Structures are given as structure tokens and as C-alpha cells.
Amino acid sequence: MGDDSSTTDLLRRIGFRAPPDTLDALLAHATKSRLSPTELTEQLAALELRERELRNLARRTKNAALGSFATLDRFDWNHPRAIDRDTYDRLLELDFLRTGDNVLFRGPSGVGKTTLAQCLALRALEKGHTVRFSTLAAALADLLQQESLPAVERRLRRYTAPDLLVLDEIGYLPCDNRSADLLYNIISRRHEKRSTVVTTNLPFKQWSTLFPGAACVVALVDRFAQHCHVIDVDADSWRLKSKPDPRPRKH
């Protein structure tokens, strides 16, 4: 079958992304096992597809900016007093992405809303979708620091283009009118086209307190809520649960 190293070099030169040592091992196996040309071609193609899928996932994961978080197998479903796990399990099937539906995780601070959103985003990444994760504050700061309208438009694509956008922590900091307009732009451009996940501690009727005086709040809520799966998390903060009791113990 010829020199494996030169064959590997040729494969790399025509665009194979699989590591050279992996290609060498496959070629050596093909020689030892006397694979037919068709069998070798099939195994080379399968190897290259796996490598490209891994690289694609790595690139999309980096662009998603999910950060570190606890995986779903570590989520304590018994901790909340109430949570709709059936709805969450259905969301993990990702049908909502096909229809451009939105998702709202609502509850007080520290009850796992962000973790559930990140795990849902990770599932989307694993299934080949593009994802972007950001706190609302970070997304708005990113957009507001752009120095011209064309620059804002270009940067908006960071939040309007992904199949799934996660905006974390809506409701924790008040925003001015310009910030409200930017959020409205993101939500309206994604409306019925791409899915947006929001975590918040506020019911919809209180979103106006986040954007005092902004005229677009009603339209923003209407568009986001029109096709929205809501998961309310009724629980005490996990951080409080894990905090040691400062009271002295009785002996």
C-alpha cells in the first residue's frame, strides 16, 4: 500500500483534518487487515467526518461562551418545591428550535435557572446548532460600546444569528431607553425565526420596571411571550442551602 507517512502527508495536503498519528494507525490497520479499497475509503471517510464534527463542535462551543457549569446529571430535581420537569425534558428534544419558540426560566436568585439554561444550550450544541450565551448586562455593554450605527449593526449579528440565544439574568439591573431598544431589536429580529432563552426573577408584568419609561417594553414582551415555554422554579437558593448554619449547636 506504499509508505504510510507519505500517504498521510498526501491526505493532509488535500484537506484531511484527522491527526497524522490517527491516519497512520488507520493505514497500518488497513495493511495488516488487507482491507479492500472500498473498505479503506469508507473508514477514511468515517474518520474524517468524526474529526470535522469534533472540530465543528469545538468551534461552536467556543463561540457559544457558555462558561463552566454543572452538568444536568448533577441537578437536584428534588430541591425545588415545584418545577415542571416534564416540560424541560421535552425541551431537551429541541423541537422548539425548529419552530422558533422561546423559553423562559423564572424564579428567585440561586435556584438553578442559569444551569438549566446552559444545559439546554449544551444539548443544542451537541445536536449541531449554533448557540450564544450572555448575561443581559454583558450583551448590552458589548453593544453600547460600539462607536457607530454600522458597528452596532455588525455586532448585533452576534446575538441575532445563532440558532439559540441565551440571555441570562434579565431583571437584576435597571436599563435605560437605549438598552431597551437594543434588546427589543434582538427579540424582534429573532421573532418566530430563532429561539431565545431568558432567565429572570420577574414576571412579565414587571418587566416595565426594568426599563422605566421605555416605549418598546409592551411590544418586546408580546413578541417574546407569543410562542414561549415557561418553567417556573419555586425553590430556596441552593447557595443558602449549602451555607453552614451560623447558630451554635446545642449539646
pLDDT along the chain (251 residues), means of 10: 74 92 93 94 94 88 91 95 98 98 97 97 96 97 96 97 97 91 97 98 94 92 97 90 51 42
Distance from C-alpha of 74 to C-alpha of 94, rounded to nearest angstrom = 21
pTM for the model: 0.83
Q: First and final CA of the chain: distance in angstroms?
A: 80
